[in-house]
Amino acid sequence: MLGLAVIGLLMIVFSFAVRPEDPLGKGPNLRGPITLMRFGGGLLVVVGVIGASLVIVKAGYSGVRLKFGAVNGQFQQGIHWITPGVETVTMMEVRTQKEESQATAASRDLQEVTTDLALNFKIDQDKAAELYASVGKDYKIRVIDPAVQEAIKVVTAQYTAEDLIRKRQEVKTLVETEITNRLKKYHLLVEPGGLSITNFKFSEEFNRAIEAKQVAQQEAEKQKYVLQQAELEKQTKIARAQGEAESAKLNAEALKVNGGSLVIAREWIEKWDGKLPQVSAGASGSGGGGFIIDLKSLLTDKPAGN
């Protein structure tokens, strides 16, 4: 805009350098065009000066006010006036921004771990001028990336490679705390829960070792199951043998008490198929035959008829 004012000023100067009429009266009358040039030049000067003096700070930004290149305060969103040619304004975004980083560090068990992460942060809008004065606009390169690298190295060294995976949430919290503490002195604010660890990358040797360990664990679980089944079968056989021994003991006691008749009768009944022997015994005055079992004699172990 200041350029328009310069052009307008040149037009005005030029208009005064041109004569409106030819002294000899032979040339055209330039009074009208010169007047128009002066008016146009004046309009350009006014528009240029107003445009150069007017600053609009959009929502989500803070304007750092510079006087002859030195920080001289800041403007919040809205319309502001400055001195053209003396003051300028540099815009600093104060909305939430996202920075993706990758850091490589050594774990406690000396495994190389590469961590991918995303960080949501913003500039403290009341301190944008101080950030610009100390760091400039390259705060991502000068402040955020080094802070992320250092935080990852400090936290990764406290865990083994496997613990980094198992305790991912705990690791994330510690890394976020480290980054927050490093950035706040530059007036850079990490959003609550604004850190996301998107991936851990390990060496090929470590990945193969983890895979082998998982296979070994699965095989161990399989062997454990086989041993449990064998133990169950063993206990079943022991229980069966104990039952048979108890049964034999009871039979022996029955033989001792009852002379064996009760046991023999019971075994005979258990083995009997329910069919009578095909044997007939004659009797006087009878045309048929019959077969009689004296169970009482079996139970008392005495011959029938005695």
pLDDT score for 233: 83
pLDDT score for 151: 95
pLDDT score for 156: 94
pLDDT 10s per residue in the chain (306 long)?
A: 667 666 767 777 777 776 666 555 555 656 677 778 777 777 777 777 787 788 899 999 999 999 998 999 999 999 998 888 889 999 999 999 999 999 999 999 888 899 999 999 999 999 999 999 999 999 999 999 999 999 999 999 999 988 998 999 999 999 999 999 999 999 999 999 999 999 988 888 876 776 667 656 666 776 787 788 878 888 888 888 888 788 777 767 766 665 555 556 666 666 666 666 555 554 444 445 555 555 555 555 444 444
- The 3-state DSSP class for residue 196 equals strand
Inter-CA distances, 178 with 181, 182, 190, Å: 5, 6, 11
Largest separation between any pair of C-alpha atoms in the chain = 189
pLDDT score for 117: 94
Residue 156 one-letter amino acid = T
**What are 263-272's contacts with CB under 8 Å, separation 24+?**
264/298, 265/295, 265/298, 265/299, 268/298
The token duo for 225 is 């199951």
> Rg of the chain over CA atoms, in angstroms?
53
pLDDT score for 304: 46
Interior CA angle at 85 toward 80 and 89, to 5°? 40
- What's the pTM? 0.59
Q: Residue 194 phi/psi, 5° resolution?
A: -85, 0
pLDDT score for 275: 65
pLDDT score for 223: 74
